[in-house]
């Protein structure tokens, strides 16, 4: 699924950013202890503000995104701090695109919306007791020409994975930037 814009939109956006890493998502910082120690697959990682934060906190990180510009920035930021990050350029709108990505202790999806079927695909790519952490614009966020209804995370997105995962935490927050939800699932 295309989230907010197409590849060119995102490449241009990342190319025009300054040479600084943005702050990690607050919900990830506040709930870091929920993550299982080990590896993280950061889906639609962008230029890596969260991936870098997780590297700093001892996780092994693989970031996937369709923007080559975003991944290049992430690799450069990581190198600057002497971290290694694995990156894969993947278009998530292609079906089965995550199929051979490997198995991880945590999957993070921050500000991206996977479709219901893709959740089924990643179900087998999380270790037992592993965490699926999703955060982004939620169902009450006002839609406009930029953030469309199809970009908002809905409870029904997770309907197929409820049998293998336990929702350990659900958070709603209203901020200047909008209405956010965080879902933290642990795999049985």
Ligand X SMILES: C[S@@+](CC[C@H](N)C(=O)[O-])C[C@H]1O[C@@H](n2cnc3c(N)ncnc32)[C@H](O)[C@@H]1O
Query: What does the binding site for ligand X look like in residue numbers (CB under 6 A)?
Result: 2-3, 10, 25, 44-46, 49-50, 65-67, 70, 91-93, 110-112
Q: Least distance (Å) from ligand X to the CB of residue 163? A: 27
Closest residue to ligand X in the complex (CB): 46
What is the nearest approach in angstroms of ligand X to the Cβ of residue 117? 14
Identity of the residue, 5 or 129, whose beta carbon is nearer to ligand X in the bound complex = 5
Question: Using an 8 Å Cβ cutoff, are 132 and 25 in contact?
Answer: no
Select from 115, 119, 88 the least CA-distant residue to 2.
Answer: 115
* SS3 label, residue 56: helix
Cβ closest to ligand X, residue 83 vs residue 164: 83
Is the Cβ of residue 150 or residue 162 nearer to ligand X in the bound state? Answer: 150
Which helix (H) or strand (E) is 52 found in, with range? Answer: helix 49-56
46 vs 130, which CB is nearer to ligand X? 46
Residue corresponding to tokens 């709108």: 93
Least Å from the CB of residue 4 to ligand X: 6
**Is 51 exposed, middle or buried, given 0-12, 13-18 or 19+ CB atoms closer than 10 A?**
buried
| Residue linked to tokens 């996977």 | 114
């Amino acid at each position: 699924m295309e989230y907010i814009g197409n590849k060119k939109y995102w490449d241009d956006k990342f190319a025009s950013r300054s040479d600084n890493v943005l702050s990690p998502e607050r919900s990830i910082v506040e709930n870091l202890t929920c993550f299982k120690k080990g590896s993280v697959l950061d889906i639609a990682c962008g230029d890596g503000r969260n991936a870098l934060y997780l590297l700093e906190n001892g996780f092994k990180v693989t970031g996937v995104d369709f923007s080559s510009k975003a991944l290049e920035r992430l690799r450069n930021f990581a190198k600057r701090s002497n971290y290694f990050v694995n990156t894969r350029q993947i278009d998530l709108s292609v079906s089965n695109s995550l199929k051979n990505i490997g198995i991880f202790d945590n999957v993070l999806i921050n500000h991206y919306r996977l479709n219901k079927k893709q959740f089924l695909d990643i179900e087998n790519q999380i270790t037992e007791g592993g965490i699926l952490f999703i955060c982004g614009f939620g169902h009450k966020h006002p839609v406009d020409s930029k953030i469309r209804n199809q970009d908002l995370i809905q409870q029904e997105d997770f309907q197929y994975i409820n049998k293998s995962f336990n929702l350990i935490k659900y958070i709603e927050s209203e901020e200047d930037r909008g209405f956010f939800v965080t879902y933290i699932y642990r795999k049985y």
